[in-house]
């Protein structure tokens, strides 16, 4: 399974755009890239998933370059409630049972 | 509403006791999982089950046991063989990599 590398922590201010980059140099052809968000004492929740180029939903965008060796989660105009841990995961449908949640990126949004 | 229910939310265990954490889902998902999370850390996979009456060990299965007699239920027993059981336990179910749904967690403390 492809291993991912993310920054341990990031700081931002309300209203700013936040970009969290994840490296996955060993991503396989069939792998999708998925991001989850976790608040303290809660289970992670799905944010966004993509395979290539750009994906956008109501909460975030995911940018994936052509070589797919990295991806960037973009959170537009963050608020205090976006303070959480963000996990980047890589896997295909067959390996979904073994998704590895690393330590994630701790995002702190300041007033 | 469909979802995953974990109980209890808080659990206290005496040294040498076995305790069982409950996890029930009504999402009709085939796969279910148990993760352990220690403070400031990511999630580590304990056990997972892809179908009823079948389950596999994850990365840290020692000291834990599970059963999957029904599709909806995947209880986790923390046995006395688990030397450091104090942690936050999360149950999840999925239909592929995108469909990971987590419960609200059980916080287990050894007293």
| B52 near A CB under 8 A | no
Report CB contact under 8 Å: A44, B43.
Answer: yes
Question: pLDDT tens digits, residue range B12-40?
Answer: 988 889 999 999 999 999 899 999 999 88
Q: Tell me, what's the pLDDT at B16?
A: 86
Residue A35 C-alpha from the chain's centroid: 4
Taking contacts as CB-CB distances below 8 angstroms, the residues of chain B near A44 are 43, 90, 100, 102
- Beta-carbon contacts of B110 under 8 Å, excluding residues fewer than 6 positions away, are B12, B13, B14, B15, B85, B86
What is the rounded distance in angstroms from the CA atom of residue B89 to the CA atom of residue B45? 10
Taking contacts as CB-CB distances below 8 angstroms, the residues of chain A near B107 are 41
Question: A93 pLDDT band (50/70/90 cuts)?
Answer: low
- Beta-carbon contacts of A64 under 8 Å, excluding residues fewer than 6 positions away, are A33, A50, A51, A52, A53, A54, A55, A70, A71, A72
User: Considering only alpha carbons, which residue of chain B is nearest residue A47?
Assistant: B98
Cα torsion A104, B73, B107, B63: sign:
negative
Q: Tell me, what's the pLDDT at A94?
A: 62
Question: A90 pLDDT band (50/70/90 cuts)?
Answer: confident
* Torsion angle of C-alpha atoms A51, A53, A55, A61, degrees rounded to 10: 120
Helix (H, G, I), strand (E, B) or coil at A97: helix
Question: B100 pLDDT band (50/70/90 cuts)?
Answer: confident
Q: How many CB atoms lie within 10 A of CB B48?
A: 25
Question: B97 pLDDT band (50/70/90 cuts)?
Answer: low
Candidate from A41, A99, A101 with C-beta closest to B105 = A41
Q: Tell me, what's the pLDDT at B83?
A: 87
Average of per-residue pLDDT across B47-70: 94
pLDDT higher than threshold 90 for residue B99: no
User: Considering only alpha carbons, which residue of chain B is nearest residue A84?
Assistant: B40
Question: A96 pLDDT band (50/70/90 cuts)?
Answer: low
Select from B10, B37, B43 the residue whose CB has the most chain A CBs within 10 Å, as the one to mutate to test that interface. Answer: B43
Question: B11 pLDDT band (50/70/90 cuts)?
Answer: very high
């Amino acid at each position: 399974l492809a291993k991912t590398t993310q920054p341990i922590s990031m700081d931002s201010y309300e209203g700013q755009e936040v970009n969290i980059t994840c490296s996955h140099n060993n991503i396989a052809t069939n792998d999708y890239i998925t991001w989850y968000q976790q608040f303290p004492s809660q289970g992670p929740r799905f944010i966004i998933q993509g395979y290539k180029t750009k994906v956008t939903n109501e909460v975030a965008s995911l940018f994936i370059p052509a070589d797919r060796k990295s991806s960037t989660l973009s959170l537009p105009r963050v608020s205090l409630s976006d303070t959480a841990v963000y996990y980047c995961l890589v896997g295909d449908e067959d390996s979904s049972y073994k998704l590895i949640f690393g330590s994630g990126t701790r995002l702190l949004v300041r007033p | 509403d469909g979802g995953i229910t974990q109980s209890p939310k808080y659990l206290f265990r005496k040294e040498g006791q076995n305790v069982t954490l409950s996890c029930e889902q009504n999402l009709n998902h085939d796969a279910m999982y148990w993760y352990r999370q220690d403070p400031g850390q990511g999630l580590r996979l304990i056990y997972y089950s892809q179908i009823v009456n079948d389950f596999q060990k994850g990365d840290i299965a020692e000291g834990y046991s599970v059963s999957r007699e029904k599709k909806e239920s995947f209880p986790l027993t923390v046995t006395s063989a688990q030397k450091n059981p104090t942690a936050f336990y999360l149950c999840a179910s999925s239909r592929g990599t995108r469909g990971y749904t987590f419960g609200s967690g059980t916080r287990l403390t050894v007293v």
